[in-house]
Amino acid sequence: MLVLNENGELQTSKTFGGNKKDGFNAIMYSENNEQFYIGGYTNSDDGDINTPPQLTDTWLLAINNNDYNIAWENTWGGTSAEIIVDITALKNGNIAFTGETSSSDLPNFQGAFDIFCGVSNANGNLLWANTYGGSSADSPLAIIENTENNLAIISYSNSLGGDIGFGYQAFNIWLAEINAENGNLLENQILGGNRWDFGSTILPLEDGYFITGNTDSFDGDIVDGSGKKTTQKDGNHDIWIAKLSKITNNTTSIAPNLQVQLFPNPSQNFLHLKGNFKLAKIFNSSGQTMHIGNEKIINIKNWKSGVYIANFLLDNGKIVSLKFEKV
C-alpha cells in the first residue's frame, strides 16, 4: 500500500500478507468509518492472516487512516478458490464486496465459476454471503450501492439457466440487483449481442444505471448513436456505453399470459413449440445447449431422459423460461 501526497510524492508505504501468495484488487476510503478498505485474496496461513484460508480465500482489511496499520482483517471462502474483485462502502457503514468463486460448497453454487458477494459490518463480521450464476463461467467486475440502498453488480457471463436465464451467445454482460440486507437476488438483466460483450463500470442514476464496457457484437442490444442496430464495426473491440432504465427480471417462470407454450409435457419423441418468439434455446440440467432456433417442432428422440429448460426470446424483447421433461 502506497500513500502519496497531493503532488504525487511518496509519504509512506506498507506491506501486508503472510508466507504464501497474497494480492489486492480493490481499495476505497469510507468517510463514515474514517478507514481504508482493501480487498483481494490470500492463501497464507501466518503473518497478518489470523484465519487461515482453506485454499485461496477472499481477504478484506480495514486500515487506520492515521498510522495505516490494520484495524481488522478477515477471510471468507469455501473449499476451493475465492478472490475479491471490487468493494464499496455502504451508507449504513457496512462494506460490500464481490468477487469470483469456484467452491462448490458455498450456497447456491451452480457453475464452473460463480459470482461471490457478501456484506460485512464495520467491525469485519460477515453479515451474509452468497453466490450467483449459471451453468458456466460468471465473473463480476464492479459493485455499487444504488439509489434504493441495494447492491448492483456488473459482470460478464457465458452461462445458461440458474440465475442467468437466457444469454445471447459467447460472453454477455450480466447486471444484477441484490438486497443489501440479506443477499437475495432482486432483479437481473442480460445485455449484449452475438459475440463477446464485457461491462467494466457502473454508476447509479435515479432512474437506472450508466454502464461502460466493450463489445465485439453487432446485433442484440448493441446500437449506434441513432438507436439503430449496428451493422458494421471497426476493429475487434469497440467501446460500448449505455444508459439503462430500471431493470426487470431477465427470466420469468411459466406465464400463460405471454402466450408461449410447449407440448406435450412430458415429451418422448417430438416437442412442439407454440407462440410468437424470435428464438428458442433449450438446455439440459447440466447447462448443455441442446437446441437453438425458431423451429416449431423439435425431434428429441435421442435426448436423454430428464428435465430440460426452454428459454424463449419473444418479439417484444422479453424472455420466458418453460420447463419440460423428456421421458
Cell of 7: 503532488
Would the CA dihedral through 180, 185, 186, 191 be positive or negative?
positive
Our measurement of the distance from residue 158's CA atom to the centroid of its chain's CA atoms, rounded to an integer in Å, reads 11
Domains in the chain: ranges and CATH: 2-245 (2.40.128.630), 256-326 (2.60.40.3080)
Reported as half-sphere exposure (CB side, CA atoms, 13 A), residue 274 has a value of: 7
Average pLDDT over residues 236-250: 75
pLDDT band at 192 (very low <50, low <70, confident <90, very high): confident
Least confident of 35-39, 148-152, 222-226: 222-226
Least confident of 131-145, 242-256, 293-307: 242-256
Is 126 in contact with 76 (CB distance < 8 Å)?
Answer: yes
175 CB burial (10 A radius; 0-12, 13-18, 19+): buried
HEC profile of the chain: CEEECCCCCEEEECCCCCCCCEEEEEEEEECCCCEEEEEEEECCCCCCCCCCCCCEEEEEEEEECCCCCEEEEEEECCCCEEEEEEEEECCCCCEEEEEEECCCCCCCCCCCEEEEEEEECCCCCEEEEEEECCCCEEEEEEEEECCCCCEEEEEEECCCECCCECCCCCCEEEEEEECCCCCCEEEEEEECCCCCEEEEEEEEECCEEEEEEEECCCCCCCECCCCCECCCCCCCCEEEEEEEECCCCCCCCCCHHHCCEEECCCECCEEEEECCEEEEEEEECCCCEEEEECCCEEECCCCCCEEEEEEEEECCCCEEEEEEEEC
Q: What is the structure's pLDDT at 266?
A: 85
Residues 99 and 41: their CA atoms lie apart, in Å, by 10
Q: What is the structure's pLDDT at 253?
A: 33
Residues 150 and 96: their CA atoms lie apart, in Å, by 10
Is 304 in contact with 285 (CB distance < 8 Å)?
Answer: no
Which range has highest mean pLDDT (14-18, 110-114, 320-324)?
14-18
Tell me the average pLDDT of the chain. 86
- Identify the residue with better confidence: 298 or 255: 298
- Identify the residue with better confidence: 102 or 215: 102
- Identify the residue with better confidence: 170 or 277: 277
Q: What is the structure's pLDDT at 325?
A: 84
State pLDDT tens for residues 202-211. Answer: 999 988 999 9
pLDDT at 232 over 60: no
Q: What is the structure's pLDDT at 247?
A: 67
State pLDDT tens for residues 116-130. Answer: 999 999 999 999 999
CA distance between the termini of the chain: 59
Size of the chain, expressed as the number of residues it contains? 327
| High-pLDDT (> 90) share of the chain, % | 54
Residue 58: other Cβ atoms inside 10 A:
28
Of 164, 147, 87, 79, nearest to 119 by C-alpha is: 87
Output the pTM of the full model: 0.76
Average pLDDT over residues 42-62: 95
State pLDDT tens for residues 8-34. Answer: 999 999 999 999 999 999 999 999 899
Pairing of strands 22-30, 35-42: antiparallel
Our measurement of the distance from residue 52's CA atom to the centroid of its chain's CA atoms, rounded to an integer in Å, reads 27
Average pLDDT over residues 262-270: 87
Q: Greatest CA separation found in the chain? A: 73
Which range has highest mean pLDDT (23-37, 220-234, 250-264, 274-288)?
23-37
Q: What is the structure's pLDDT at 62?
A: 98
Q: What is the structure's pLDDT at 168?
A: 58
pLDDT at 225 over 60: no
| High-pLDDT (> 70) share of the chain, % | 88
